[in-house]
Amino acid sequence: MRQRADGSGTADQRREQMLRAALEVIDERGYPDTRIADVAERAGTSPALVIYYFKTKNQLLTEAIRFSEDRWYETGTSRIAAIGTAAGRLEELVAMTCLPEADTEPNESWLVWLDLWAQAGRHPEVASVRRKFDERWRETIGSMVLEGQEAGEFGPVDPADFAVTLSALLDGFAIQIALGDPSVDAGRAFELTMRLAARELGFTWAPRYRAGGEGGAGSRLAEERAARGQGNGSSAER
């Protein structure tokens, strides 16, 4: 249902309506084929008002993804904080990235991120925003590794190096998932990422499900979490 952005509500509400509309339209049509007029129509407002808030289409793209990212981190922070082990928290982070079933409010399609990456290669203002997104992501991973080391769960790896490695691996898997590679579905990406993390950080991760296919890692993880409320799928042995 379309929401009117120009007739009621606060400025923040109008802005959020436009950002949500932008994410939907970019996901459906791709960034090159998205027009300001398309976003305005989806949000139930005028192109002039969208331009008033965001100035350019590139700014609309980056602000829409920033909005999506902030929601994702807000959801993840509360969920991860409820898990008692560093290995479990890392697994939850990877699951939220790879498995849509594991997220109560799924992040928008990876196709939107592919559009951001493509624009970042050609537009410095988009590249600057993309760089900040990546810095935030690596800092999140690195902080989690430090917490695990302080708790005695993880081995003596360099947290910054590991964060770069893990984030690059997940970005690579994101491309395969977005393009529908039959050899790299979400479940397999999740399992392979966790195997690498366990090997590099020195903890034992015992998967209770197979990657890929119907009933694979994503669906089984979701079923287990629904049955026990939350929990994690990792065990740390030091």
With cut-offs at 50, 70 and 90, classify the pLDDT of residue 73.
confident
What per-residue confidence (pLDDT) applies to 48? 94
Q: Are 195 and 217 in contact (CB under 8 A)?
A: no
- Res. 9: pLDDT tops 70: no
CA 51 to chain centre: 27
- Res. 83: pLDDT tops 60: yes
Do residues 45 and 150 both lie within one domain?
no
Do residues 42 and 152 both lie within one domain?
no
Q: Can you tell me the distance from the alpha carbon of 83 to that of 15, in angstroms, rounded to the nearest whole number?
A: 34
Do residues 103 and 221 both lie within one domain?
yes
Q: Give 153 or 234, the one with higher predicted confidence.
A: 153
Number of domains in the chain: 2
Q: Can you tell me the distance from the alpha carbon of 88 to that of 96, in angstroms, rounded to the nearest whole number?
A: 12
With cut-offs at 50, 70 and 90, classify the pLDDT of residue 108.
low
DSSP string for residues in 146-170? HHHHHTT-S-S--HHHHHHHHHHHH
Tokens 């499900």 locate to: 209
Do residues 32 and 114 both lie within one domain?
no
Residue 174 located in a structural domain: yes
- Res. 90: pLDDT tops 80: yes
Residue 153 located in a structural domain: yes
Question: Residue 31's domain spans which residues?
Answer: 1-55
Residue 235 located in a structural domain: no
Tokens 């982070």 locate to: 93
CA angle centred on 218, ends 173 and 90, rounded to 5°: 65
- Res. 180: pLDDT tops 90: no
Do residues 51 and 69 both lie within one domain?
no
Residue 180 located in a structural domain: yes
Residue 122 located in a structural domain: yes
Q: Are 71 and 64 in contact (CB under 8 A)?
A: no
- Res. 71: pLDDT tops 50: yes
Q: What percent of the chain lies above the pLDDT cut of 70?
A: 79
Q: How far is CA 219 from CA 62, 182, 208, in A?
A: 31, 17, 12
What per-residue confidence (pLDDT) applies to 207? 66
Residue 233 located in a structural domain: no
Residue 124 located in a structural domain: yes
Return all residues near 227 (Cβ < 8 A) that are at least 6 apart.
none
- Res. 105: pLDDT tops 90: no
Residue 35 is part of a domain; what is its CATH number?
1.10.10.60
What per-residue confidence (pLDDT) applies to 219? 43
Q: Are 217 and 190 in contact (CB under 8 A)?
A: yes
pTM of the model: 0.76
- Res. 209: pLDDT tops 50: no
Do residues 40 and 105 both lie within one domain?
no
Q: Which of 34-38, 65-69, 200-204, 231-235 has the lowest mean pLDDT?
A: 231-235
Q: What is the mean pLDDT of residues 205-234?
A: 46
Residue 206 is part of a domain; what is its CATH number?
1.10.357.10
Between helix 186-201 and helix 217-228 the angle, nearest 10°, is 80
Do residues 36 and 142 both lie within one domain?
no
Do residues 32 and 120 both lie within one domain?
no
